[in-house]
Amino acid sequence: MDEQLKKLTGGSWTGTSGTGTGQSGGGSAGSGVTEQQVKEWMAAEAEKIKQELKGQIPSTGNSSSQPPSIPSTGAGTASLEVIKLEAGQILYGGIGAEIIVRTGKAIAVSNDDGIPDVTSGKDVPVGTAIETNHLLVIPREGRGIKPDPKNKDEIYVMIRGSYILLKEDGTKVSP
């Protein structure tokens, strides 16, 4: 880690190798690099890596059939939200979103592969019914759920993470 910090600081990091303490709590005095500077550099490097990784993710399917990109800071939070899914709506989860269908019948929607059902340990193929009270995890954008056309019951869904709720025509619905 000391080598990486020296690269980041242009050689001004003088932490003691092997102690894991760096400038705060045991590094050489007078190095001129503060713990706050190191945190800022590390955050900047992490952001660069995120941007590089985003550029490496391939798009899936036909762009005209893709849902809009789901903002990581848009709808959705770290807590579970309850959403009523109406007929004609599609709920797309952002990367890492967790979905649990509580009532009613919903089916999997995707532009390519299925959705992991971590409760059963299987993938739910496109167009297949989602079992109630099973945890689904969205691995990539372009996957979600919609009401089963045969459904007569109200559909309530719990979701954690970013998501977008669309009408079948692609217009956004306010949750």
Segment among 3-17, 43-57, 117-131, 139-153 with least mean pLDDT: 3-17
pLDDT tens-digit profile of 60-84?
A: 444 445 555 555 444 545 788 999 9
What are the structure tokens assigned to 56, written together?
């490496």
* Length of the chain in terms of residues written: 175
Query: pTM for the full model?
Result: 0.57
Domain segments of the chain as ranges: 2-56, 66-167
Please check whether the domain covering 66-167 is classified as CATH 2.40.128. no
Give the sign of the dihedral formed by CA 28, CA 30, CA 36, CA 40: negative
b/e map 40-74, b = 16+ CB within 10 Å: ebeeeeeeeeeeeeeeeeeebeeeeeebeebeeee
pLDDT tens-digit profile of 126-160?
A: 999 999 999 999 998 889 999 999 999 999 999 99
